[in-house]
Amino acid sequence: MSPRVLVVDDDAALSEMIGIVLQSESLEPVFCYEGTGALEAFRSSQPDLVLLDLMLPGIDGIEVCGQIRAESGVPIIMLTAKSDTTDVVSGLEAGADDYIAKPFKPKELVARIRARLRRHDGPDTERLLIGDLVIDVAGHRVTRGEEVINLTPLEFDLMVALARKPWQVFSREVLLEQVWGYRHQADTRLVNVHVQRLRAKVEQDPESPEVVVTVRGVGYRAGAPPAR
């Protein structure tokens, strides 16, 4: 079964064009042309990924993003005509995993979608330790003691990438390549915002992080598991 993509964009021509490209890549597009009906369309279509325009009639993309994120961890990629810091950051903070600035090439769009639909294919029984957390890669679960922590797939991928190589310091560029699938240089703010969101969920005290540790001037690395 081909993965389903919900395209939320008010521009009919662009939506249609995106649809043509998606179909040629054997993805199944579903369309929604305004912000107000977006959540409903999401519920009825159960997509594997959402392409979301930031500027929408009715309620805007950032709000739609928040609504979807509130009930699902499904990957969300924003389509934005503005690459201004504030818009991009507020979109990412509302829960979007990635963004593409208009105008984009079809290949670029497909690459972004593929990166988000990709599943990690590590050994099934893999269990990883990061800080005081345990990651069950096969079961897609993160636990602290008995408590289960809910993460979006992207946040989960970010944790797994860090935890697989606890001795390595990851630069933002490397993380962009491994987690987001960028091959060229990209916006490192993606990493910053998502690390912040992740910390808010997994850290005991986000002010002094112990799970995702900042290495000043370089990037991030996994926090060491507590000594037994």
Residues that bind another protein (CB under 8 A): 11, 13-14, 17-18, 20-21, 24, 81-82, 84-85, 102-107, 109, 184-185, 188-189, 216-217
Contact, 202 vs 211, CB < 8 A? yes
In whole angstroms, the minimum distance from the beta carbon of 80 to another protein comes to 9
Q: Give least dist CB 12 to another protein, A.
A: 10
Q: How far is the CB of 185 from another protein (least distance, A)?
A: 8
- Cα separation, 194 vs 157, whole angstroms: 11
Q: Name, in order, each residue with C-beta under 8 angstroms of 45's C-beta and a sequence gap of 6 or more.
A: 4, 6, 30
Residue closest to 211 by CA, chosen among 100, 135, 124, 110: 135
Reduce the DSSP state of residue 174 to 3 states and report it: helix
Q: How far is the CB of 18 from another protein (least distance, A)?
A: 7
**Distance, C-alpha 97 to centroid of its chain:** 3
Instruction: Find the length of the chain.
Output: 228
Name the residue nearer to another protein (CB basis): 157 or 187.
Answer: 187
What distance in Å separates the CA atoms of residue 135 and residue 213, rounded to the nearest whole number? Answer: 17
Q: Pick from 159, 155, 154: which is nearest to 133 by CA?
A: 159
Residue number, 19 or 73, with CB nearest to another protein: 19
